[in-house]
Structure 1
Amino acid sequence: MQKLIPAEAAPAEHVALIRQSPLFNEDWYLRTYPDVQILGLDAAAHYLWLGSLLRRDPSSDFSTAGYLEMNPDVGAAGMNPLLHYVKNGHREGRRLAPRRRALDPASWKQGSVPAIADAPSVLLCAHEVNAHMFGGERSFIDMLEALGQMRLNVYVTVPKEGNADYIELLRAKSCGLFAFPYGQWSKNRDPDETSIEDFTHIIEQCNISLVYCNTIVLVDPLIAARRAGRVTAIHARELIDHDEHLCNRMGMDAKGIIDRILKQTDYVVANSAATQKLFAHSRRSFHAPNVAKVDALDMPNPVADRIVFGIVSSNIPKKGIADFVEVARRAEAVAPQAFFRVIGPDNDYVAELKAAGLPGNLEFAGYADTPAEAMAQVNVVLALSHFAESFGRTVAEAQAARRPVIAYRWGAVPELIDDDQTGFLVAHKDVDAVVARVALLCREPHRIAAMGEAGREKILRQFAPVVLRNNLRQALSAMLSEPVALRADATRRLTIIVPVYNAPDAVERCLQSVLTRTDLARHRVLMINDGSSDERVQPMLERFALNPGFHLLVNPQNMGYTRTINRGIQWAGDDDILLLNSDTIVHDGWIEGMQKVALGTPKAGTVTAMGDNSGAFSFPTSGILNPKPEDMSYDDWARRIISFTQDSDPIDVPTGNGFCMYIRRDLMDHIGLFDEDAFPRGYGEENDFCMRTIKAGWKNFISPHAYVFHQRTASFGAEKEGLMKTAMEIVNQRHPDYARKVKAAFGSGRMKQLRALAAKAYEEGAVVARPAWRDAQVGEPADRSIHR
């Protein structure tokens, strides 16, 4: 359809004046703002109608924002800046503002996030600022929030300031923001040396270590970074091999675009598995999915007699709005209780659709400021894009809001929808199949609630913001060649939970070792008496509770291990948790040995210590007691073991062991507590929890820096076999791949190597020798410390 710009917004005589002005460059405008050409709009008319409102420049020689800043009466009168200059400003001697440069004071906005002197600095570059916040803007905010949780100094660049609320949000979540014009990659645009110079100044001024472009269409920042010798990365959000418009815009085929991307950047981060496949032959790619704001979308989905089917989009043709209208038209006969609602901005394309005539069961509801506002207006969401979505943000948001989705099986959308479970997938452009699913849900409306709950669970597990943060943290640790910590970890408190049931002698040994080997000014210990029948236990726990940092809870009756630790986890508030059996003995530095992995390893959700008598976690030999030499103390023997094992990387495994297991609080916020209904008495609860950890994108590790001594089952005694048998039946039923994963992990070469290192502690005369590869230079040495 031909796009229409309202005549009153761009009168022909005004268009002619703009086109004739030497300060308007049509080729430059179309190259700099490729969406204008994609939509088929006249460049001069677009600038008059919309471009100036978005603070777009008509050429490199005229600054829209600068002219309005110097001449505020023009903006107050609502006049187009260039039109005003052509008609009046030139005659009145109004000053033209030169192109804004990155180091102009007006370009800089001080951020609200304090910079850390010794932390790496990242420059996050946006490619566009729209008047409304669509998927691109929301994804950029997600990126900024994820990076903002890390121990990084994040600076932001935007090509203009067309949305004051959005700019303020970016400023508040960063160390600072630069707003200055820079263009996008297209076949007719060469690199802009002025923009490159601007980015170079920023890189030098802010001591940038990594330049991170939030899309593949930015080139100038990458050139500046390469010239300055800094690391570069781009976030690929396009399915290049399915995007004809993109290939036409770039003037090359998909392979050419991909090859050029890999040449001009060091690393690629893909927003979906489908996108990452395009870079599968490169070992420099990572996967960090787009996410949905699950907390803001935790909302009911009441279904009335009239079921509302909606589409939420920017209302451009390629989003499938015409298909949605046709679905509504055909549904009038087969699903009379269905109502259809389009949520998105009014524009010329919407005007054309309305002029062509709409079915009576459809309305255009206008733009919604937030995803939650959009989802509150519908029961079921349709995703009918004609182009291959590289993620499908609206699909994720809909499911997070308990709205089933009917979508084309196209692009990366199938990664988000479990067909017939969280929604329906149909063939691309098969409108009849969409209508059939609409009719099915109208006949069986109870399925909407079931699908909605399943969809929210899927998004919580796979596409919550913490998943993006963890994946980005792993990627940036590799890019910067150093572990990237989280800001909150510097002050993170730990609650050590010791559940107690009888065995007072073992309990006293355990608590005494914890008391003397834990920094109780920083961490705390929670003892929970789970209805011990031995009368000696309670007085002994009360004595320990007199020590600063020790706390005591008493269950009114025996609640069982799993309910007891869940009670402790909830009592601990926002603290990380360390579960410690009451028949263990810890060593000097044990907390540091656990946190070195838990806080220093991206994606670490749980960390289990090595032990002397802890089943599969016994070292050096699994499944037996590994005796401590009688002439050595617990501290000395643990120190000797660790002196050999510390050169091993942490080993990821499918399960942890609750005898000494560290659990990150943000993992529990993500997947919930232990399942106390299925595993009330203990055994199996940590296996199930750790498998849920993996399915949510986290990992379970064994720390080579902690070695805890364990008497084993002092509390359970003869019940052990029955408890284990019942528990493992449930675990294997829930997680059919559990046994295979356990066999692979505990029989791996890395595990055997760790056991061999631990075994050296028993060899007389054995001394620690640092592996040669640890100190070997790889490639050209670089002093990264200068980029701080």
Structure 2
Amino acid sequence: MVKLADIQILRGSGLFDEDWYRARYQDVEILGMCAIEHYLWVGARLKRDPSPKFSTTRYLECNPDVEIAGSNPLVHYIRWGRFEGRQAFPVEPKASDTSVIPLARKRSERPSRDAIVYESHNLKLQGAPNSLFEIASGIMRRGNFEPVLMAPRGGPLQQSYAASDIECVFHGIPSEFLLNADRRNSFLQTLSKHYKDANAKLVHVNTLPNYHCVLAAAMAGIPVIWNVRESEDPDSYYDKLPPDLRRLAYSAFAKASTVVFVAEATRQKWVDKLSGVVESVTIHNGIDLGRLMRHVYATNRPTVRSSLGLREDDIVLLNVGTVNKRKGQQDIVDAVQILDDHIKRRLVIAMVGFSPTQYSDYIKQRLEALSKEGVRIIALDETTSEEERRRVAELYLASDIFVLTSRIESYPRVILEAMGFGLAIISTPCFGVKEQLVNGISGLFYEEEQIADLSGKIRLLCDDREKRIQLGFAARAQLSRLNSYDQMLDAYERVYKSVLRKNSIQVKSA
């Protein structure tokens, strides 16, 4: 929690420039927060500077004990550091402060670093591929390793990787190719050669469908980190595969060096299956919230709501995610269906993630029926470009309530995004969601298909503005206690270094 005493000491220190901070970090204005509170809440953890006179990063680099203790660097300097003879450093201009994106350089033109291949099953703007991109791009910025993206084919995220100066290789070998038993080994060998040609010291494989990438890396003698982001039943996940391929997929776990889960609840489901087979750890997702918020830096909530034709007393209920049975959006339309008419007339349902599927079409038909009862609808297809993400960011900014209806999720990004925008959240308590939110404090839980309960919670938040605001503030505060983006990157780098160290010892002993 932000302490009033800390706010007062920063305000009177002469080292915090509120106007400068708001101008430099425009998401503060978007969130409607006091600049000093933002810095104390999350700004320092993001290594943001409070004024040109004080560099957060330099102070923490020179005083690692401050970061280890979890102290706010500027508060520490004012209260203790200056009296202990510790130095405050001015902020140095950075090339990254400009809006010019340099042309991508070839790997040979950069300092030599150990290459890590990041293997993504697709490059859509969806949860798992987005999370892998943010890991790879963050590792690239840190400069300790050389990320290389590999995927079966290109997609919308390809441009983001290129803009991050990350080499992209499209090998054209999705897991479905292994259904061809006659050519299976040939495909694995080809993929293995791609990893060798990249001079990879480590392969970071994303998601369970990429089991063949784990096998290919093992064939090349390259250690593997395997990110499991799914929470389906471990014993039946690969049941759709032919029996021989199913056995091969499960055998991949013994080939990995470490399996990284993004939710402890998911890891616990796999513990018995992986015990004695492979080491497993949990690293909660931290997200680069600025990547989404930058789309609304030049606007504000009233402007966006006006552009959407919203009235002052309208309540916007937002759901973001691929519209499918697993994500259960039918709960929303069923719950809104039984609301009182006076609430329906104020309610706007914004749903993002439609695609040409039978379930999507069904939900659209249900939403159209609700529109005839006075509920206004904003329906967007799945985003296919960073530019289209602007619409999503605007909807987060314009919304009042976020509803997650998923049956299965590990540690959903959309919950973190909704927390960052300070929305009141209603969610199913599936897996990692219980590690993100505290029921009744930073969010409200309902059990899937419990329509009356969901409808009651929507009614409560529509009628009680103070409750919405209270939950939104609590969600934002809870986000500050979860893994930050940098803390997530720290954790992955520790795993990388540990695996590479163990592999080096094994190679030497051999």
The TM-score bracket by the shorter chain reads: 0.5 to 0.7
1:433 aligns to 2:433 (yes or no): no
Change (3 A) 1:229 1:343: closer
1:433 alignment partner AA: D
For residue 365 of structure 1, the aligned residue among 358, 361, 379 is 379
Specify the alignment match of 1:318 in structure 2: 326
TM-score, normalised via structure 2 length: 0.65
1:781 aligns to 2:482 (yes or no): no
CA contact (8 A) 2:409 2:432 kept: yes
For residue 215 of structure 1, the aligned residue among 194, 197, 207 is 207
Change (3 A) 1:224 1:198: same
1:157 alignment partner AA: M
Change (3 A) 1:436 1:195: same
Q: Matched residue of 1:389: which SS?
A: coil
Change (3 A) 1:259 1:242: closer
CA distance in 1, matches of 2:187, 2:250: 23
Q: Matched residue of 2:316: which SS?
A: strand
Change (3 A) 1:331 1:247: farther
CA contact (8 A) 1:291 1:464 kept: yes
Change (3 A) 1:185 1:262: farther
Specify the alignment match of 2:288 in structure 1: 293
CA contact (8 A) 2:212 2:249 kept: no
Change (3 A) 1:480 1:334: farther
CA contact (8 A) 1:287 1:471 kept: no
2:438 alignment partner AA: D
Q: Matched residue of 2:116: which SS?
A: strand
Q: Matched residue of 2:290: which SS?
A: coil
Change (3 A) 1:322 1:257: farther
Change (3 A) 1:251 1:327: farther
The Cα of 1:260 is off from its aligned counterpart by: 3.0
The Cα of 1:429 is off from its aligned counterpart by: 2.2
The Cα of 1:780 is off from its aligned counterpart by: 6.5
Q: Matched residue of 2:409: which SS?
A: coil
The Cα of 1:114 is off from its aligned counterpart by: 6.6
1:176 alignment partner AA: E
1:76-225 matches, within 5 Å, as 118-130=112-124, 133-148=125-140, 149-163=142-156, 166-184=157-175, 188=179, 190=181, 192-225=184-217
For residue 352 of structure 2, the aligned residue among 338, 343, 352 is 343
Specify the alignment match of 1:706 in structure 2: none
Q: Matched residue of 2:361: which SS?
A: helix
CA distance in 1, matches of 2:147, 2:256: 19
CA distance in 2, matches of 1:242, 1:433: 30
1:383 aligns to 2:404 (yes or no): yes
The Cα of 1:471 is off from its aligned counterpart by: 1.1
CA distance in 1, matches of 2:248, 2:480: 34
Q: Matched residue of 2:414: which SS?
A: helix
The Cα of 1:341 is off from its aligned counterpart by: 2.1
Specify the alignment match of 1:45 in structure 2: none
2:169 alignment partner AA: F
Change (3 A) 1:324 1:335: same
CA distance in 1, matches of 2:292, 2:218: 41
The Cα of 1:436 is off from its aligned counterpart by: 1.0
Specify the alignment match of 2:475 in structure 1: 455
CA distance in 1, matches of 2:376, 2:249: 41
Change (3 A) 1:240 1:321: closer
CA distance in 2, matches of 1:778, 1:121: 19
1:156 alignment partner AA: L
The Cα of 1:433 is off from its aligned counterpart by: 1.0
Q: Which has the greater radius of gyration?
A: 1
The Cα of 1:482 is off from its aligned counterpart by: 7.8
CA contact (8 A) 1:121 1:153 kept: yes
CA contact (8 A) 1:342 1:365 kept: yes
Q: Matched residue of 1:358: which SS?
A: helix
Q: Which runs of 5+ in 1 are unaligned?
A: 1-108, 484-776, 784-788
2:162 alignment partner AA: R
CA distance in 2, matches of 1:230, 1:461: 36
CA distance in 1, matches of 2:180, 2:286: 33
Change (3 A) 1:175 1:111: farther
Specify the alignment match of 1:271 in structure 2: 262
Q: CA RMSD in A?
A: 3.3
Relative contact order, higher structure (CA 8 A, sep 6+) = 2
The Cα of 1:124 is off from its aligned counterpart by: 0.8
Q: Matched residue of 1:409: which SS?
A: coil
Specify the alignment match of 2:313 in structure 1: 305
Specify the alignment match of 1:405 in structure 2: 425
Q: Deviations over 1:559-581 (max 9, x none)?
A: xxxxxxxxxxxxxxxxxxxxxxx
Change (3 A) 1:205 1:458: same
Q: Deviations over 1:85-107 (max 9, x none)?
A: xxxxxxxxxxxxxxxxxxxxxxx
1:477 aligns to 2:497 (yes or no): yes
The Cα of 1:223 is off from its aligned counterpart by: 2.5
The Cα of 1:332 is off from its aligned counterpart by: 3.7
CA contact (8 A) 1:426 1:433 kept: yes
Q: Which runs of 5+ in 2 are unaligned?
A: 1-102, 306-311
CA distance in 1, matches of 2:177, 2:269: 20
The Cα of 1:782 is off from its aligned counterpart by: 4.8
1:352 aligns to 2:373 (yes or no): no
Change (3 A) 1:396 1:292: same
Q: Matched residue of 2:194: which SS?
A: helix
CA distance in 1, matches of 2:196, 2:146: 14
CA distance in 2, matches of 1:197, 1:153: 23
Q: Alignment length, in residue pairs?
A: 375
1:629-668 matches, within 5 Å, as none
2:120 alignment partner AA: A
For residue 418 of structure 1, the aligned residue among 438, 444, 448 is 438
CA contact (8 A) 1:129 1:162 kept: yes
The Cα of 1:187 is off from its aligned counterpart by: 8.9
1:195 alignment partner AA: F
